[in-house]
Structure 1
Amino acid sequence: MAVVENPTANEQVDLTTIPVSPGGDKPEAGATSSSDDNKWTLWFTKPPSGKGDNWNDLLKEVITFDSVEEFWGIYNNIAPVSELALKSDYHLFKAGVLQGEAQRRH
């Protein structure tokens, strides 16, 4: 996987890959997982194009995890916020929170 360089606000961010370090570490073998109630999802918001983008259209689900070991494995291998494009963000939500909102609107 490739590291996202620090593009300017006008450049498009390639969201086919998540911004992680190349050859990133995987969670340790034997790491224990907790129940489904403790799943979390990391989301990424790409910079708006300036054409009246809807926030939901800019949001991309990156990965869902359920253990502290997985969290640190992800955290240690994603691009630091300081290297993200302007007006892009990471978000961490309980798994299913955003999907539930989308389903309620339809």
Structure 2
Amino acid sequence: MFKALNHAPSGRAPKPAPCHIFPSADGAFFLAVSNDYQFTELSALAGQLQWTADPRFASQRARYRHKDELTALLRRHTVEHRTDEWVAALSWVGVPCVALAPREADGCG
């Protein structure tokens, strides 16, 4: 609801970040983080809770500005677990994600 309220005055929709295809130990998955809660949960699952205190990633706007850096950092950690493990854990905490078929994952490297 609050995102909708923010969208109305500016006419701009909030941009999710990270929002990308990520490699895993056995394939790839897509995720889209659209709020601070989701980013905190993702950071915790990646074992990188300190990302939430990093000024580059402390807000949705900051994460979007530094999305390339954040994507590169996150990719280093997503390869540590299988796709099904990531999707199960992320889904459990409310982070939108989906496993990709091998053909869809070809461009994620």
TM-score scaled by length of structure 1 = 0.27
**Larger Rg over CA atoms:** 1
In proportion to residue count, which structure has more strand? 1
**Higher helix proportion:** 2
